[in-house]
Amino acid sequence: MIRQQNTQQQGLWERYRTTRTQTERICQPLATEDFVVQPVEFVSPPKWHLGHTTWFFETFILRPHHKNYRPFNENFDFVFNSYYESLGARVIRTDRGNLSRPTVNQIYDYRHYVDQQMQAFLQSSMLSRELFNLIELGLNHEQQHQELLWTDIKYILGHNPLFPAYSTQNPIEQPSHSGTDKKIVNLPAGLYDIGYTGEGFCFDNELGRHTVFLEDFGIANELVSNGEYLDFILDDGYVNFKHWHAQGWDWVREHRIGAPLYWHRIDGEWFHYTLSGLKKLDLTCPVAHVSYYEAAAYALWKSARLASEAEWEVAAEHLNWGQRWEWTASAYQAYPRFKKSAGAIGEYNGKFMVNQQVLRGSSVATPTGHSRTSYRNFFHAPLRWQFTGIRLAF
């Protein structure tokens, strides 16, 4: 039994090291100046991500469980706490870009210090199942921030007037059209079970597997492409209120929206910003960086709708998914029997279950092994800096 537990902990350390290395690899092409920029509230500076994911392991693992652990810097509790009210005061989200100090080098020193302490802890302690699961949560939390790093870096560079490339070798935004025939998958009315099932990791908002009744429905096996979405634009989709929810129409007019995020019309041609710079729009790739408002408006224009999250999960095995987070028509709410965990960990998901829409699937920015058909992502309706896309239902 002890040998088996030691093997599990060694495997956990290897996963820890791989995950932490990948976060730093994402940041490697950045210039020092790129690490501090915060163009808008919902984008965090890359160096804050580096610090916050480190703070998670220091706060939840090392401080309470590693004997004689000495914090790297007591001020980092205030700097890198994100939204955990039960853990005390913190820098408000809008001020993360004001943190010229600590420096980038100091934050990397912080990461390496905590990694060394985590290695020593994992090699010297016998982990309870609860503590093992908490470290597992920390690794999945860091993977979430890896995806946020990709999208925040793209927003930072994509709003620089010079449209600088993150790298000439685009690591994630390769041509992503599938080449398969588009068709409608039809599923019969009936009772279906949704929610996580299995022995591996999942977030608490996926738990509470339960039965739902669905009417007959059809769902497209492929996502809406750039070319198909361009037809919506050319048919005055952004100037005809009939396609839009009232809030969506207000959003379009207030912010003068006329195309997906990162699209630019230059000398009569459409381009879009990518991590490798400004490129001519590939009409065959799935449309990305659209809000819920835009997804719903496009669906109505096509005499279709967005699937519910239950429909999406039931149909997932028939769909080509994984390129874009897919907006659903479902509000983000608790599943039956959902229970918030005690303490700060209970703040991870439950308190956000209001005024947000569920997205399903994953995206090109999602780390390998971090996607499941039961995964429930969620964002506010106007947001589109993630790799969000559209799948039609009927």
> Following CA atoms 30, 33, 34, 40 in sequence, which dihedral angle do they give, to the nearest 10 degrees?
180
Domain ranges of the chain: 2-158, 184-393
Q: Give residue 179's pLDDT.
A: 64
The CA-CA-CA angle for residues 298, 299, 305, to 5°, reads 160
Q: Give residue 4's pLDDT.
A: 58
CATH class of the structural domain 2-158: mainly alpha
Question: 184-393 domain in CATH 3.90.1580.10?
Answer: yes
Q: Give residue 7's pLDDT.
A: 73
Q: Give residue 178's pLDDT.
A: 61
Q: Provide the β-strand partners of residue 327.
A: 359
How do residues 248-271 score in pLDDT, each as one tens digit?
A: 999 999 999 999 999 999 999 999
Q: Output the average pLDDT for the chain.
A: 95
How do residues 11-38 score in pLDDT, each as one tens digit?
A: 899 999 999 999 999 999 999 999 999 9
Q: What would the two tokens of residue 338 be?
A: 């959902």
Domains 2-158 and 184-393 share a fold: no
How do residues 110-169 score in pLDDT, each as one tens digit?
A: 999 999 999 999 988 889 999 999 999 999 999 999 999 999 999 999 999 999 999 988
